Structure 1
């Protein structure tokens, strides 16, 4: 391997490592926050209102910050940096920043004014939760949440600037401090009698802290802010050309979540809260590994495509898919096998009722079926965005939205809340199938044989892990008391350790390239410094 390639590979590994650690901490802190809330309020009207208040602001954040801004901004700004056209890059970035600030402020004002009119779009008020008192609380909480949209949109641009410079540390720190602030402010205000609204105020405060963490580092890279908006700038035109289709595509995808919440809100009290918690755990491995790896290889794939090096582009894409599958498949199977002990250890305390354990665990299992689809899709989507192809993902996402809605309407009548999860997982598996098929038509083969062989080996290792973990769980629960929280967490840790050991032992036995590469990286990083 040449020195240049080695440096690129090391850069991807370092970026992925930073993002994995930060996303892990941030996601775990998010669960800690929810555990505190559910131990105080249980899964009921107050938590349903709290979760509902996230829907509109979360949708705006995911569409604009979580994908739209970064996917459209990074390729354009990175090209100016790569070509050393710094002044053009500064003008382009400043114009986008100013435009986004104005647009975000307008969105927040409209949201604050028309919150009561917007709620029927996301809530099925026929559910038993939605008494007039709870609806009024939901309106209040949603209005508080809207303030975070302004700060998070600005954060998205700052993160895009930093990631274009391949600096992933400030965005990672910001995401951790965001959740730390929510917990700190929420608990403090809870003691002062603000109730669940204190955590919403914590969300807004956390978004401000997150923005401040991003702002100062961008100037260390030499960035120079310009007080101007130039719609005629070539970079601004390129940004909006990419931004429109990307936003539509992500908005369509996010509508799947809105559809799920709408159906859940029309079921029994607490269903929306249980579904939200199941999704939180389901998203944990995806947030930690899939998003991190996809974002870390995105600038590199953009660079390979810009220089015409399609072989390296395909190599990064294939390795990204295989590595994500190597990590996500055992996470999904492992969570399914230990779902009851996991939910019991994490949530069963305070006012969280014992009856919710089985409900939440079952929902979680059905969501995990589609985890591999939603995880690997993140890498494939970055593959589309790197070649500046945004229309195909939009078309696929529209089809998947329609499929999810149709399946949800059918399955919810048969299986209730579980039907929502089954429909969502089915849609995710269909999505990755279509995304991969059409990306291959755009760029040619993406080392499909390597991916197929890797998936088959992963599935075999997961089957062994499932049998071992299930057997260990039976032995544990029949021979040891699990009444105390200490023993509940000990059970989960033992099952995770046993399952992980069996999976990686089988992977080593099968000489999987993905495991070998991970071990080589660790050896190079920690033993040969």
Structure 2
């Protein structure tokens, strides 16, 4: 594996670790919010109010803003130097602050119509509608801070720092946990306490980035311009990414719409299955693409296409090395896993089977969803944000059309199969387009074959153990060891690289001691 590949793997490990902490804290947050806020009028009002800035974060923040910023920032640094890159970053932040402040002021004035557009049913209950409008006004300024965090994330990632941006979601979770418990124990209105917790969390998320930015030598004081060409280029690149994020949200919305025509419980089966698939994707899939984008952008800015291809192959190989066994494990252990996590109270044995069927169908597509992420990062690094969006639109049509047809035969499982099929189509089209552009394959077929063989081996073992009461759970670490040991014996690059990373960390800790 190249030096760039090792760098991507090291940074992906940092992002994955921080994301895992965030996911665990998110689970704790959900438990505490359920305890302190419950599931009544105030809970519904808070979740709707928080959904509005959260939607804008997904459309304009982390994905779109960061992915459009990093390639331009890397090119300016390469061609014009550090001072010009810092001036471009300051200019982008000024524009961002002005635009978001204007949007926030409009939202504060139009909080009533905005709430009516998002939750029209709340108008039937004047008290609930009024509370939601209040909470929208409290929560909405969060957009300013989280989008600013996204810009800081781009700057830090481009400088090779990944920890602080990756820890930002954990800061929000801690703020919400603290707000919920404080409101509950103090006898305050918990929904209002949590709304202020969102705002406080946003402030601390942004504040966390500042000392790390200073360590890189960046200062908010200095030259900037309303007409910075880098900011204009970033804005042009960002438009397709925002549209792509909107397509993703539309995919979720239309999938839920189709599921609403199926028997009661279908939406829930798909929701719980998707939550489990999103865990390895969120921890590992996003981590690799996040770590890959700065390296790919820097290589593209230098016109080093050989290095670019090598770094992309490393990112793809590492993604597949993790995604294939994760998919095999979820597929083999779908029933006992769903039963362990959810089979209690109103969640019946029949619901376990139905959810496990959806999980199995989703799991088949997990490697393709994961592999698409570094491919998209490759396009963004080349400052081509339109091709991934066009492909996403085509795959949206495939997903909805195939889902509408398959649900007539397989109900909710048909919708999950359609998601996996459209994910395969998305990966295949991205792969084909980027291969044509690079002139060679961004995926090493030998590594694919070895990862697939080992994943089938541990998947078969896990499936065989699924009926062994609690033993299936105890054996999961065994399957992980078997997979990794097999990869080492087969001299897979990813296994050797991960082993070297562990050894170097142990050596550094011993050195400090």
Band the TM-score falls in, shorter-chain normalisation: 0.7 to 0.9
Change (3 A) 1:500 1:433: same
How much does 1:218 deviate? 1.8
Change (3 A) 1:521 1:116: closer
Does structure 1 residue 163 correspond to structure 2 residue 157? yes
Q: Aligned residue for 1:474?
A: 467
Does structure 1 residue 89 correspond to structure 2 residue 122? no
Change (3 A) 1:193 1:421: farther
Match of 1:30, SS state, is helix
Q: Aligned residue for 2:497?
A: 517
How much does 1:314 deviate? 0.5
How much does 1:436 deviate? 0.6
Is this contact kept in 2: 1:468–1:502, CA < 8 A?
A: no
Does structure 1 residue 20 correspond to structure 2 residue 19? no
How much does 1:438 deviate? 0.6
Change (3 A) 1:496 1:188: farther
Deviations 1:115-134 (A, max 9, x none): 344327xx9x8xxxx99569
Does structure 1 residue 34 correspond to structure 2 residue 14? no
Measure, in 2, the Cα distance between the counterparts of 1:462 and 1:204. Answer: 44
Q: Aligned residue for 2:449?
A: 456
* The one of 220, 226, 231 aligned to 1:225: 220
How much does 1:136 deviate? 4.7
Deviations 1:298-349 (A, max 9, x none): 2111122222221111111111111101101111221232233333444456
Measure, in 2, the Cα distance between the counterparts of 1:131 and 1:420. Answer: 33
Deviations 1:245-299 (A, max 9, x none): 2222333233212323444567677765654443332111112112111121221
Write the mapping of 1:398-477 to structure 2, written as runs, cut at 5 A: 398-448=393-443, 450=444, 452-476=445-469
* The one of 60, 64, 67 aligned to 1:64: 60
Change (3 A) 1:271 1:325: same
Is this contact kept in 2: 1:187–1:199, CA < 8 A?
A: no
- Aligned residue pairs total 502
Deviations 1:118-156 (A, max 9, x none): 327xx9x8xxxx995698599557666544322211111
Match of 1:476, SS state, is coil
Is this contact kept in 1: 2:77–2:84, CA < 8 A?
A: no
Change (3 A) 1:274 1:209: farther
How much does 1:510 deviate? 3.4
How much does 1:461 deviate? 1.6
How much does 1:439 deviate? 0.8
Q: Aligned residue for 1:102?
A: 98
Change (3 A) 1:217 1:509: closer
Write the mapping of 1:85-484 to structure 2, written as runs, cut at 5 A: 85-108=81-104, 109-110=106-107, 112-119=111-118, 132=124, 136=129, 146-190=140-184, 192=187, 194=189, 202-225=197-220, 230-264=225-259, 275-347=270-342, 353-354=347-348, 356-448=351-443, 450=444, 452-476=445-469
Change (3 A) 1:317 1:11: closer
Is this contact kept in 1: 2:5–2:310, CA < 8 A?
A: no
How much does 1:95 deviate? 2.0
Is this contact kept in 2: 1:31–1:280, CA < 8 A?
A: no
Is this contact kept in 1: 2:331–2:360, CA < 8 A?
A: yes
Match of 1:370, SS state, is helix
Measure, in 2, the Cα distance between the counterparts of 1:244 and 1:223. Answer: 27
Is this contact kept in 1: 2:138–2:196, CA < 8 A?
A: yes
How much does 1:240 deviate? 1.6
Measure, in 1, the Cα distance between the counterparts of 2:348 and 2:139. Answer: 31
Measure, in 2, the Cα distance between the counterparts of 1:185 and 1:151. Answer: 18
Deviations 1:414-463 (A, max 9, x none): 44444433322222121111111111111211354x2x232222222222
Measure, in 2, the Cα distance between the counterparts of 1:90 and 1:518. Answer: 34
Measure, in 1, the Cα distance between the counterparts of 2:18 and 2:53. Answer: 23
Deviations 1:334-393 (A, max 9, x none): 1232233333444456x6644554444443333222211111111001111111112211
Unaligned runs of 5+ in 2: none
Unaligned runs of 5+ in 1: 478-490
Change (3 A) 1:422 1:42: farther
Match of 1:114, SS state, is helix
How much does 1:39 deviate? 7.4
Change (3 A) 1:48 1:506: farther
Measure, in 2, the Cα distance between the counterparts of 1:352 and 1:44. Answer: 18
How much does 1:65 deviate? 1.8
How much does 1:46 deviate? 8.9
Measure, in 2, the Cα distance between the counterparts of 1:43 and 1:361. Answer: 26
- Which moves more between the two structures, 30-39 or 229-238? 30-39
How much does 1:21 deviate? 0.7
Aligned-residue Cα RMSD (Å) equals 3.5
Change (3 A) 1:254 1:203: same
Question: What TM-score comes out, normalization by structure 1 length?
Answer: 0.83
Is this contact kept in 2: 1:72–1:242, CA < 8 A?
A: yes
- Which moves more between the two structures, 27-36 or 165-174? 27-36
Q: Aligned residue for 1:494?
A: 474
